[in-house]
Structure 1
Amino acid sequence: MHVADRGGGAERSVLTLHQSLRELGHDCRLFVGSKILDEPGVIEIEQRRPIPGVLRITRRLEQKGIQNLYAPWFRNLPDMIGEADIVHLHSLWKARHGFADLTGICRIAKRYPTVMTLRESWMMTGHCACPTGCDRWKTGCGSCPDLQRVPSVQSDFTRFNWQRKRTTIQQSDLHITTISNWLRQQVQQSPICEGKKVHVVHNSVDERSFFPGDMLAARNALSIPHDKFVVLLAGQSIEGVHRGISQHAVKALNRLDDHGIHALLIGRSAGDVAATLNTPSSTVPYRESPQEMAQCYQAADLTIVPSEYETFGRVAAESLFCGTPVLAFATGGLTDIVVPNVCGKLVPTGDVDALAAGLADLKSNPDALLRMRNDCVSHVRERFGTKSIAVQYGNVYQEVIAARSMRPGDEGGPVSTANIPANKFTASTTSKISCVIPAYNCEAWLQRAVESILATRYASLEILIVEDGSTDETLQVANQLKARHPQTVCVLQHGGGMNRGVSASRNLGLRNASGEWICFLDADDYVYPNRFESATKTLIDQPDVDGVHQLAEMVFPDKETCEQWWECSPYFGFEHSIDSSALLGRLLEGKCWATSAILFRKSLLERTGLFDEGLQIAEDCHLWFRMAAVGKIVSGDLNAPVSAYWRRIDSAYQPSPLQRLQMIRSMVKFLNWVSTADVPAKDRDEAKKAIQQYILRGLTNARFAKQRTLAWSIAWQAVRQLPSISINSKFCGQVARLAIGR
């Protein structure tokens, strides 16, 4: 059920889902408040007149501000639906008056297994869909500071609306899906949705409309110069999140003042934006047709999406489907879509300097931009293609149906539970897993870490706690765990109980490990029950695979730590599958997985060696570089994290531009290692080029951010540790600009 079958991005997503489910052989009907298209299986909800006078009174109350008060035809929808295995509710508030009411949700959820997709925050607030800058929705709304936010209301009934929504959701047996991981986190903070199971299924993009095309032909059609670097702005870049003009992209373009750039502005306010730009530009009216919009993406070199509030990021996704990389703020759903250095670049939200620097960096690196154009399409098609999203929803439907079928005393309609896959994991191998946990001053967290490994219920486990000369009660906690689980837990110490550091501690654990397969876990992190499901299956089914990397979820103890650490994504690791042959290059761009999210064969260490004990920061990356150079490391199941990466204010690794210096040191050490390893000369040369590019990006970003001390430190360390870079023309150019203060 949805408001209409035609309109904006939400309507396109719902209609495409309906079509895809039917193509997959499901009997799908789409009930809408307003039917515009002649699409098979779409049914307009018939609005039968209720008792005379009742509707007129409720409409006046709704106009005042009491939302979705009374729609008798929506309450009676079960009679119209008849038999169904699942009901999927989408947006309920945008159509003409009378489409839906809240009481009807309870009636539907009582009779059918029900899923509700949230595409914005309306169901969590007292009236608005976009509560940016306001946290009243977390406590009950009331005394609303802005009644004009969409959908606007005349009077402040926001507290009453909020309470009605909470009562509705809490009394309804339903699952919730959101269109981004960020929105899921918002839902999990909402008292209205408290206790509800929340899944993430993104919006789809129709690959039949959005695909790479002939850039020159598109520019000819839009009368855009062939020899310019074309930057596309659309959506919030033109219209702003509420009203008026969003200035971030304008300021960034004006700051560069680069007449080699040509702006392509799309939207109703495109002319107003053009008047504020120093950059040459072309304006195009709002494009309602997907094919017309795709032509605009095909004409551009880069799309900028500087949204400050974005639950998904359709402009970014559509652009990537057309092969046009994206520069965006790291906000909301955009962090799910834009994979840095694969699909484009993410910069801190609201940072105009970083936006300008990112644009300059992408414009000045045509080789990197071309690689992104080639890589981004396959990434987004796999993640957001119509069939992929339909299958993901099908999996959610199966889970919801199964959960309802197990509920005692159900009064609902007929439910089919045929062919529901069993998801419970059972170890199918006797291969032992050795988990190495270095432990230093971690008495508060060590038990949680060990018990999380035990909770996976893997059949053959060995947990090696390496106590690293702690000054607190860590050793006592470790010994208690060993006494409790004597067949599984082993406690090791360095000679004399010394403190040797994390690399030496992991190496001690590796030397004592008896398992065929190895994993790591830091003592303040923990794993989820699905930790070994995907990875062990891959290692069993594919004997040529040496290791499997997956995702960790960033977890913060408090808001202060979250603000310090939060960058682009709630996950740590690669969010999209990467071919093992391309993995080393991606790692040398500065991205990696968490130590708690890789499982590998112990035999691989015979080719790579152990951790470099001379490195205290980026020591894990140094080992990952070597693994990717001589082994076959593949992506596991990336749909859900397998571990929690617990970040504290006093964590050993802290987010800082200075960490780039440590990463450069790690990379150069790897380059020295790979020069003597059994690695093809071509791969060694590509690794060297990738490391030089990493240094150049760091130098460029530091220079644009006016961090001159850091920039000089990067330049000096690069020359000292990698002398050959001193003859690189781009490096020399950056140093020259730095020397003259540019």
Structure 2
Amino acid sequence: MADKQIKEQVKKENVVNNLLTILQVNTSDLHAGGAERVSWQLFEAYRSLGLKSWLAVGKKNSNDPHVLLIPNDAKRNSWARFWRTTGEKITPFIAKTRGAWQLQTLLYGIGEPQRWLNIQRGYEEFNFPGSKHLLDICPDDPHVIHLHNLHGNYFDLRILPELSRQVPLIITLHDTWLLSGHCAYSFDCERWQIGCGLCPNLKSYPAIRRDGTAFNWKRKRDIFHQSRLFIVTPSQWLMNQVEQSILVPAIKNAKVIPNGVDLSVFHPEKKWAMRRELGIQPDVKVLLFVAKSLRSSFKDFQMIYEAIKLVNQIFHQEKLLFIALGEDAPMEQTDQENLRYIPYQKDAFDVARYYQAADIYLHAAYADTFPTTILEALACGTPVIATAVGGIPEQIKSLIALSQYNLRSYPLNDATGILVPPRDVAAMAVAIEMLLTNESIRQQLAENASQDAQTRFSIDKQAAMYLEWYQEVIKIYHFDSTLELSR
């Protein structure tokens, strides 16, 4: 009901929005990570409201005519295009032929030797000429351009100064890559505040071959100094990082807008019915973890695995089932029948069934901004036990306080899960045992979770907040432009 009211309010009160043209930009459209899902959901939400909604991507996976492929390869010179086309012919052999990847890299390097040299030096790659043609490929002149992930080998960050003087430019940060010399998450490293260099982890995604982090950091700083940007983060934690970073001189205005999920897909269902569909016994206790890659360096799957082993000492295996959703094959062989590995599911409805069948959702991470999987679990009425890192404490109303992180507890009639310290296997095991052995507490958290998601984390609310802010951004942008012309 709340979502329907929000939609009607947007349609009635924001009459100006009916003329609004929005161009979003992201790495890809479908079947990708959390950032891509966010932009896709907004793209569809805007279109459902009758707005002119476009999405420009570095890699196009859908057939949607309103998804535009950024023409990076088409805009390279003929020499580069020839060697790139030649290199692409090797792609089918990379997985099965030794040395094929190295040969392809060599061919690409022949076509663009300076680009190849920069990669060897550890310089971040900005040579994507199609980025300059964003305004040309969009059939409608956009009132705002809304950028998302700008890493992923498709976008030239150097166009930001010029582009930000042609149209209001909004960037939603989904990680901290824009703030650093190469990494999406800095973990415990704070060198991004002083210029990077002497990088402790060159392999952290997106990896670089040599320590070019000081150069990369300075280049980003110089680009931002010439740009006019409007910044959004999904969590206050990430906004606090932004406010200490090289982005500050570029910021005209900033706002925290939490991500949302599609409540028509992610919502509570009868647990027994979902278990019957998935072939799960009705009397077992089901624990769930979801990630596109269980091996991600940002996730701590081992912590969950070890906590499950501790809990197994209390519960008989036939009464406890742990499902790890997100791998095409098991991470490791195990003779424990109560661990089930499920391949990554592209269909959101298939993913929702696992949340709806689970008793508890587990999430352990070393770093995370505002994980969509937690929002999906809450929306399905599944209590969450998660590590208190990044923006996760802003998603979960914890039943237990963590004084060392200045996180308070919520009363039983408000709490939606339990936060535990990162890397603390014992604390997670205790939290799991607590919820599994207290049916009434677990049920209350489940009810609270779905209600809280409806109130705070719907895609319709997220879209409405963005549309309201677009209007504010447009006013600020044109007011500043008028002032500049009058000087």
TM-score under structure 2 length normalisation? 0.78
Q: 2:443 & 2:130 partners in 1: Cα distance?
A: 54
Q: 1:121 & 1:198 partners in 2: Cα distance?
A: 15
TM-aligned CA deviation for residue 353 of structure 1: 2.2
Give yes or no for the alignment of 1:303 onto 2:361: yes
Q: 2:462 & 2:149 partners in 1: Cα distance?
A: 18
Give yes or no for the alignment of 1:282 onto 2:321: no
TM-aligned CA deviation for residue 161 of structure 1: 1.0
Q: What does residue 227 of structure 2 align with?
A: 172
Give yes or no for the alignment of 1:198 onto 2:224: no
TM-aligned CA deviation for residue 209 of structure 1: 2.2
Amino acid at match of 2:451: S
Task: Report the CA distance shift for 1:352/1:279 in structure 2 as closer, same or farther (over 3 A).
Answer: farther
Cα deviation 1:645-670 (Å, max 9, x = unaligned): xxxxxxxxxxxxxxxxxxxxxxxxxx
Q: What does residue 106 of structure 2 align with?
A: none
Q: 1:262 & 1:253 partners in 2: Cα distance?
A: 10
Q: 2:238 & 2:117 partners in 1: Cα distance?
A: 30
Amino acid at match of 1:347: V
Q: What does residue 354 of structure 1 align with?
A: 427
Give 1:324-343 correspondences, 5 Å limit: 324-341=382-399, 342-343=415-416
TM-aligned CA deviation for residue 163 of structure 1: 1.0
Task: Report the CA distance shift for 1:147/1:339 in structure 2 as closer, same or farther (over 3 A).
Answer: same
Q: Is the 8 A contact 2:68 2:137 kept in 1?
A: no
Identity percentage over the alignment? 31
Give 1:712-731 correspondences, 5 Å limit: none
Alignment match of 1:2 (pick from 1, 20, 26):
26
Task: Report the CA distance shift for 1:325/1:333 in structure 2 as closer, same or farther (over 3 A).
Answer: same
Q: What does residue 191 of structure 2 align with?
A: 136
Q: What does residue 161 of structure 1 align with?
A: 216
Q: What does residue 269 of structure 2 align with?
A: 213
Q: 2:279 & 2:347 partners in 1: Cα distance?
A: 19
TM-aligned CA deviation for residue 119 of structure 1: 0.2
Amino acid at match of 2:234: I
Alignment match of 2:179 (pick from 124, 127, 147):
124
TM-aligned CA deviation for residue 324 of structure 1: 0.9
Q: 1:145 & 1:340 partners in 2: Cα distance?
A: 33
Q: 2:347 & 2:292 partners in 1: Cα distance?
A: 18
Secondary structure of the residue aligned to 1:239 is coil
Q: 2:202 & 2:474 partners in 1: Cα distance?
A: 39
Q: 2:276 & 2:332 partners in 1: Cα distance?
A: 23
Task: Report the CA distance shift for 1:207/1:286 in structure 2 as closer, same or farther (over 3 A).
Answer: same
Task: Report the CA distance shift for 1:233/1:356 in structure 2 as closer, same or farther (over 3 A).
Answer: same
Give 1:536-615 correspondences, 5 Å limit: none
Cα deviation 1:568-594 (Å, max 9, x = unaligned): xxxxxxxxxxxxxxxxxxxxxxxxxxx
Q: Is the 8 A contact 1:124 1:193 kept in 2?
A: no
Give yes or no for the alignment of 1:69 onto 2:126: yes
Amino acid at match of 2:288: L
Q: How many equivalent residue pairs?
A: 407
Amino acid at match of 1:346: L
Q: What does residue 225 of structure 1 align with?
A: 281
Q: 2:63 & 2:133 partners in 1: Cα distance?
A: 24
Larger Rg: 1
Gaps of 5+ in 1: 413-742
Q: What does residue 75 of structure 2 align with?
A: 49
TM-aligned CA deviation for residue 375 of structure 1: 2.4
Q: 2:56 & 2:292 partners in 1: Cα distance?
A: 30
Q: What does residue 688 of structure 1 align with?
A: none
Q: 1:230 & 1:355 partners in 2: Cα distance?
A: 15
Give 1:317-466 correspondences, 5 Å limit: 317-341=375-399, 342-409=415-482
Task: Report the CA distance shift for 1:59/1:237 in structure 2 as closer, same or farther (over 3 A).
Answer: closer
Amino acid at match of 2:148: H
Q: What does residue 321 of structure 2 align with?
A: 262
TM-aligned CA deviation for residue 194 of structure 1: 4.7
Gaps of 5+ in 2: 1-24, 81-110, 400-414
Q: 1:381 & 1:38 partners in 2: Cα distance?
A: 31
Q: 1:121 & 1:175 partners in 2: Cα distance?
A: 16
Q: Is the 8 A contact 1:238 1:270 kept in 2?
A: no
Q: CA RMSD in A?
A: 2.4
Greater RCO, CA 8 A, separation 6+: 2
Give 1:75-86 correspondences, 5 Å limit: 75-81=132-138, 83-86=141-144
TM-aligned CA deviation for residue 352 of structure 1: 2.1
Q: 1:237 & 1:88 partners in 2: Cα distance?
A: 27
Secondary structure of the residue aligned to 1:338 is coil
Q: 1:210 & 1:43 partners in 2: Cα distance?
A: 28
Task: Report the CA distance shift for 1:23/1:321 in structure 2 as closer, same or farther (over 3 A).
Answer: same
Cα deviation 1:63-101 (Å, max 9, x = unaligned): 32322322222123234446222111111222xx4x211
TM-aligned CA deviation for residue 282 of structure 1: 2.1
Q: Is the 8 A contact 2:228 2:250 kept in 1?
A: no
Q: 1:62 & 1:115 partners in 2: Cα distance?
A: 28
Cα deviation 1:463-514 (Å, max 9, x = unaligned): xxxxxxxxxxxxxxxxxxxxxxxxxxxxxxxxxxxxxxxxxxxxxxxxxxxx
Q: 1:285 & 1:236 partners in 2: Cα distance?
A: 9
Secondary structure of the residue aligned to 1:190 is coil
Q: Bigger CA drift: 297-306 or 334-343? A: 334-343
Amino acid at match of 1:67: E
Alignment match of 1:102 (pick from 157, 164, 177):
157
Secondary structure of the residue aligned to 1:13 is helix
Q: 1:388 & 1:29 partners in 2: Cα distance?
A: 20
Amino acid at match of 1:75: K
Amino acid at match of 2:265: S
TM-aligned CA deviation for residue 354 of structure 1: 1.8
Q: What does residue 598 of structure 1 align with?
A: none
TM-aligned CA deviation for residue 348 of structure 1: 2.3
TM-score under structure 1 length normalisation? 0.52
Q: 2:333 & 2:344 partners in 1: Cα distance?
A: 15
Amino acid at match of 1:225: Q
Cα deviation 1:182-222 (Å, max 9, x = unaligned): 11111112134356233111222122322222322322333
TM-aligned CA deviation for residue 269 of structure 1: 7.5
Amino acid at match of 1:359: I
Secondary structure of the residue aligned to 1:112 is coil
TM-aligned CA deviation for residue 116 of structure 1: 0.5
TM-aligned CA deviation for residue 301 of structure 1: 0.3
TM-aligned CA deviation for residue 411 of structure 1: 7.7
Q: What does residue 371 of structure 2 align with?
A: 313
Task: Report the CA distance shift for 1:27/1:58 in structure 2 as closer, same or farther (over 3 A).
Answer: farther
Q: Bigger CA drift: 345-354 or 164-173? A: 345-354
Give 1:490-529 correspondences, 5 Å limit: none
Give yes or no for the alignment of 1:11 onto 2:36: yes
Q: What does residue 330 of structure 2 align with?
A: 271
TM-aligned CA deviation for residue 62 of structure 1: 4.7
TM-aligned CA deviation for residue 224 of structure 1: 2.2
Q: 1:71 & 1:247 partners in 2: Cα distance?
A: 38
Q: 1:193 & 1:167 partners in 2: Cα distance?
A: 12
Q: 2:150 & 2:236 partners in 1: Cα distance?
A: 21
TM-aligned CA deviation for residue 126 of structure 1: 0.9
Q: What does residue 291 of structure 2 align with?
A: 235
Q: 2:264 & 2:292 partners in 1: Cα distance?
A: 25
Q: What does residue 697 of structure 1 align with?
A: none
Q: Is the 8 A contact 1:106 1:172 kept in 2?
A: yes
Q: Is the 8 A contact 1:210 1:318 kept in 2?
A: yes
Q: 2:481 & 2:262 partners in 1: Cα distance?
A: 41
Secondary structure of the residue aligned to 1:328 is strand
Q: 1:252 & 1:66 partners in 2: Cα distance?
A: 40
